[in-house]
């Protein structure tokens, strides 16, 4: 089976490092192919890197994750998006669902195994929303 090529988009380097470390050590079927701290870095990486799924934070320094998701769904509708955010207000989740993202989990209440489960579920064309989502 091919690995799931995953891009992490989050402005917190320690968070990116932690996700990469856990995924690489415990979930060999998921491959971290890149990391971006900004929307600009995300779009630049997507031009040169094969990606199946984007792990996307909402609050980024240059452009919101909502706008990134909107643009990605227009330009690359085949690309799966899993929002991972501390921002899980109902309005935010609703906006992301309207855009067409495949999943949303909370940074606060999700475990590394939850993250891996969400990625695998989404790659099987099934939506995944954390239990604590509004």
**Residue 8 predicted with pLDDT over 90:** yes
How crowded is residue 105: how many other Cβ atoms within 10 Å of its Cβ?
25
pLDDT tens, residue by residue, 37-82: 999 999 999 999 999 999 999 999 999 999 999 999 999 999 999 9
CATH class of 4-129: alpha beta
Task: Report CA Rg, the chain.
Answer: 13
Helices (H) and strands (E) in the chain, counts: 5, 6
What pLDDT is attached to residue 134?
A: 55
**Domain-wise residue ranges, the chain:** 4-129
Q: Which of 1, 10, 20, 12 is nearest to 42 (CA)?
A: 10
Query: What tens digit of pLDDT does each residue of 16-44 get?
Result: 999 999 999 999 999 999 999 999 999 99
């Amino acid at each position: 089976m091919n690995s799931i090529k995953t891009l992490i988009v989050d402005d917190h380097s320690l968070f990116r490092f932690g996700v990469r470390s856990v995924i690489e050590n415990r979930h060999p079927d998921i491959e971290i192919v890149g990391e971006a701290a900004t929307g600009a870095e995300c779009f630049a990486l997507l031009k040169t890197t094969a990606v199946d799924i984007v792990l996307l934070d909402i609050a980024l320094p240059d452009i919101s994750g909502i706008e990134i998701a909107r643009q990605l769904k227009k330009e690359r509708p085949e690309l799966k998006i899993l929002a991972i955010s501390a921002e899980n207000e109902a309005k935010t989740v609703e906006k992301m669902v309207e855009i067409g993202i495949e999943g949303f989990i909370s940074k606060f209440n999700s475990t590394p195994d939850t993250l891996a489960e969400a990625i695998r579920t989404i790659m099987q064309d099934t939506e995944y929303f954390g239990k604590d989502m509004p």
